[in-house]
Structure 1
Amino acid sequence: MPVDMTVWQGRSDPEDGSLGLRWHEVIKPADEANEPGIMLLGFACDEGVSRNKGRTGAFDAPITIRKALANLAWHHTEPAYDGGDILCNDGNLELAQQRLGEDVCRALRQNHKVIVLGGGHEVAWGTFQGLGSYLLQKQHVLQTQHTPRGGFKSEELDIVNKVPKIGIINFDAHFDLRNPPPGSSAERGSSGTPFQQIARFCELQGWPFNYACLGLNRASNTQALYDKADKMGVLYFDDCELTHQRLPLIIESLEHFIAQCDYLYLTIDIDVFPASTAPGVSAPAARGVPQEIIEPLLNTVLSAETTAGSKKVLVADMAEYNPRFDIDTQTARLAARLAWTIARALR
C-alpha cells in the first residue's frame, strides 16, 4: 500500500543549503529505502484503550505526531523512511497487532532501527511480536549457516543455542500487566495487557522476561499488580521516586538492568509525563514525571551499546497520545521531540 507523504510539510530555508533542512525535506517513503536508516511505522488504533475502558482518540495519533515532527530540524546522519500506518478501524485488534509485527520484523531484517508511533499501549504487543519474530528468524539463519558436517563446535553451539536476552524498558504510569478479562481468550488483549502477553510469549519460547517500568502512579495500579510485578522480578520505580536527588541511584539500577541484556526494546507511554506537560493522553497524570528527569534516563537507554559497538535498542515505540484532548498540540510536540531524540541517538 502506498505511503501518504502529503503529511510531511513545513518551513523551508533554501538560503541555508543542506544545513537548513528539516524532516519533511529529507524523509522518504519506505519503498525508496536503499540503505539502512530509521523506519517510522504508525499504529492507528485505540481499540485496546476502548477495551480497557479508557477514553478513545489515540487512533489519530500517528498522523498528528508526523505533522509535529515534519518541521523539526534535521540533525541526523542517516536516512529516515516512512513505512505508513497499520489501521485498526474494524475492532480486530489481534490482526492489526500481527500486521504491525510483520512490518517491524521486515524493517529489522532490512537493518533499520524502528520507531512505531501509536496508538494505545496495545501497540507494545504488536511491536514485540515483530522483534521476537526477527530474533527467532536470526537464530534460524545462524543454525543454517553454522551446521558443519561433523557437528557443532562448542562456540558454534553457544551462538545457535543462545537465548536472546531482551530488555523491555517502559516509561509509564501503569504496569500494563493485566490479565485478560474472565471468560476471554489469552489472545484477547487491551491497552492494559501488552506486557502480560509479552511475558507469556517469552515463557513459551523459554526466554527470560526482563521488564523495567519507570514512572508508576501507585494510585492507579492495584496492589495485585505490584505483587504480580514482584513475582515476575520486574524492576520498577514509582513517579514519586523519580527525583533529582535519587536520579544517580535510578540510573545505576537502570544501567545494571541494561548490562544484563543483549537487546533493548524501548516503549514510552506519554501519560508518564505530568498532565500540564502532556494533557493529550488517554489517562492524564495527576503527578507524573518531569521531562528533565525522563531525559537522562532515556539517554542512558539510548546510549547503551553491545560489545561490538552497535546500539542495544533495536526498536522503540510511543503510546497513548490522544489528539482529541490535546491543548495547542503541546503533547504532539512532546511526542515529536521524543521521536526526534530517539532517531538521532540510534542513527
Structure 2
Amino acid sequence: MTMAADVPVPGWKGRSDGPGADRLRWHHMVRTAAGRDEPWDAAFVGFRSDEGVRRNQGRPGAAGGPGALRAALASLALPAPLRALDAGDIAVTCGDLEAGQRRLGEAVGPLVDEGRPVVVLGGGHEAAYGSYLGLARSRAVRAGARLGVLNLDAHFDLRDDPTPSSGTPFLQMARDEERGGRLLDYRVLGISRPSNTERLFRTAGRLGVRYLEDTDCGLLGLDRVEVFVAAFLGGCDLVHLSIDLDVLPAAAAPGVSAPAAYGVPMEIVERVCATVAASGKLAVCDVAELNPELDIDGRTARAGARLIHRVLTGAVAVPRRG
C-alpha cells in the first residue's frame, strides 16, 4: 500500500496579462514544496481520495478534485500579492483511507504551526478528519487553544459506521475529543432534513451539535446566519472551516456525490466564508466532494475556487496568528 506525501504537482497554469503587480493571478504566486523555505502567506495540500465516498455508498470520482480546484483557481485575479505554497498531494491508494488521513494530518500540522491558513483540497469529505488530526497535533491546540469546527454541509457526517468513510469524520473528531476529556465544538450550517436520518439528529443532539437547516439559510435568513456564525466565532480561538460543496444548490454545484435539491445560496455561503476569514481565527479550511467526472461546465470547480479565493484573500488581510 503506497501513501504519497508531497507528491509533485503540475505547475499552475492560467491566463497572463503581462508583468506588473496589478495583473496578478493565482498561478503567478504559487510555488511547490521545493520552495517551502521561502516566506508564504497561505498553503495548499491536496487529498486525492474517494475511498471514503465509496465506503459511504456514494459516487466515486472525488480523487480528481484537487487537480480540478487548482485549475479553476489558477486564473482568478489577485487584488494584491499573496504568496502561496503548494505542499503537494496525499494520495490514497489500495483502499487504505486510514493511513491517508494520518499522512494528511502529518502534512497539515507543521503548516498550521506557521500561523497562516491552510487549505486542504479534497477529495471526499473524509479529508476533514485528516485535517483535524493535523490541528490536534499543532502547537496552539496542544497549548490549550479552543478549537471550533464549522461545517458548511447538507449532512451531519456523524455516521456510526464500522469503518471510517466520508460520512463519519465529525463523529471521529468528537470521539477523539472525548478521549481527551473535551467536548467538540461542532456546528453545521445547511443541514437538509430529508438527507439526515432521525438517528443522525439524535447523535447530533447527544453531542451538543448546533446547526441551521438549509431552509433557514436563505437570503431572508441572513440575520439568523450571521448570529449563528458570530456565536460560533465568539466561542473558539482557532477555526476549522469545512466546506462540503453539496451544501450549494445543485444548479451551482452539480459535480458532487449527492447534489442538493434545495441547498444554501452561494451568496450566503460566501458571506459565511468571508466572516470566518476576517475573524483572524482560521487555521484550516477543507473543500470537499468535488467530483470532476460529474461536473457540468466546471461549475462546481469554479464555485469551490471562488470560495477558496474569498477565504484566503480575506484571511491574509488580517494579522498573522501567533
TM-score bucket of the superposed structures, by smaller chain: over 0.9
Unaligned runs of 5+ in 2: 317-322
Q: For residues 256 and 68 of structure 1, what CA distance do their matches in structure 2 show?
A: 33
Deviation at 1:253, TM superposition (A): 2.3
Give the letter for the 1:336 counterpart.
A
Deviation at 1:100, TM superposition (A): 0.3
Give the letter for the 2:301 counterpart.
A
The residue that corresponds to 1:21 in the other structure is 24
Q: For residues 274 and 214 of structure 1, what CA distance do their matches in structure 2 show?
A: 14
RMSD: 1.6
Q: Aligned with 2:137: secondary structure?
A: helix
Deviation at 1:262, TM superposition (A): 1.2
Give the letter for the 1:89 counterpart.
T
The residue that corresponds to 1:290 in the other structure is 265
The residue that corresponds to 2:153 in the other structure is 172
Q: Deviations over 1:115-172 (max 9, x none)?
A: 0000000000000000001147853xxxxxxxxxxxxxxxxxxxxxxx4321100000
The residue that corresponds to 2:302 in the other structure is 333
Give the letter for the 1:169 counterpart.
L
Q: For residues 207 and 115 of structure 2, what CA distance do their matches in structure 1 show?
A: 32
The residue that corresponds to 1:157 in the other structure is none
* 71-80 or 275-284: bigger deviation: 71-80
Contact 1:44 1:60 survives alignment (8 Å): yes
Q: For residues 208 and 171 of structure 2, what CA distance do their matches in structure 1 show?
A: 13
Instruction: Return closer, same or farther for 1:78/1:138 CA change in 2, 3 Å cut-off.
Output: farther
Contact 2:273 2:307 survives alignment (8 Å): no
Give the letter for the 1:232 counterpart.
L
Q: Aligned with 1:176: secondary structure?
A: coil
Q: Aligned with 1:245: secondary structure?
A: helix
Contact 2:136 2:142 survives alignment (8 Å): no
Give the letter for the 2:35 counterpart.
E
Counting only pairs closer than 5 Å after superposition, residues 305-344 of structure 1 correspond to structure 2 as 311-344=280-313
Contact 1:30 1:39 survives alignment (8 Å): no
* 85-94 or 16-25: bigger deviation: 16-25
Deviation at 1:205, TM superposition (A): 1.4
Structure of greater Rg: 1
Q: For residues 137 and 330 of structure 1, what CA distance do their matches in structure 2 show?
A: 36
Unaligned runs of 5+ in 1: 140-162, 182-187, 305-310
Q: For residues 137 and 241 of structure 1, what CA distance do their matches in structure 2 show?
A: 32
Q: Deviations over 1:169-224 (max 9, x none)?
A: 0000000001123xxxxxx3000000000001111112221011010111010011
Aligned length: 311
Q: Deviations over 1:7-58 (max 9, x none)?
A: 41111111x5221121112211123132141110000000000000000000
The residue that corresponds to 1:151 in the other structure is none
Q: Aligned with 2:112: secondary structure?
A: helix
Contact 2:151 2:189 survives alignment (8 Å): yes
Say whether 1:249 aligns with 2:219: no
Contact 1:116 1:318 survives alignment (8 Å): yes
Give the letter for the 2:33 counterpart.
A
Say whether 1:271 aligns with 2:246: yes
Give the letter for the 2:68 counterpart.
T
Give the letter for the 1:242 counterpart.
C
1:84 to 83, 88, 105: 88
Q: Aligned with 1:316: secondary structure?
A: strand
Q: Aligned with 2:219: secondary structure?
A: coil
Say whether 1:94 aligns with 2:98: yes
2:109 to 86, 105, 113: 105
Deviation at 1:243, TM superposition (A): 2.0
Q: For residues 36 and 193 of structure 1, what CA distance do their matches in structure 2 show?
A: 33
Q: Aligned with 2:22: secondary structure?
A: helix
Contact 1:7 1:63 survives alignment (8 Å): no
Say whether 1:32 aligns with 2:13: no
Q: For residues 295 and 101 of structure 1, what CA distance do their matches in structure 2 show?
A: 26
Counting only pairs closer than 5 Å after superposition, residues 84-163 of structure 1 correspond to structure 2 as 84-135=88-139, 138-139=142-143, 163=144
Contact 1:165 1:207 survives alignment (8 Å): no
Say whether 1:49 aligns with 2:18: no
Give the letter for the 2:23 counterpart.
G
Say whether 1:280 aligns with 2:255: yes
Give the letter for the 1:298 counterpart.
C
Give the letter for the 1:9 counterpart.
K
The residue that corresponds to 1:209 in the other structure is 184
Q: For residues 83 and 109 of structure 2, what CA distance do their matches in structure 1 show?
A: 19
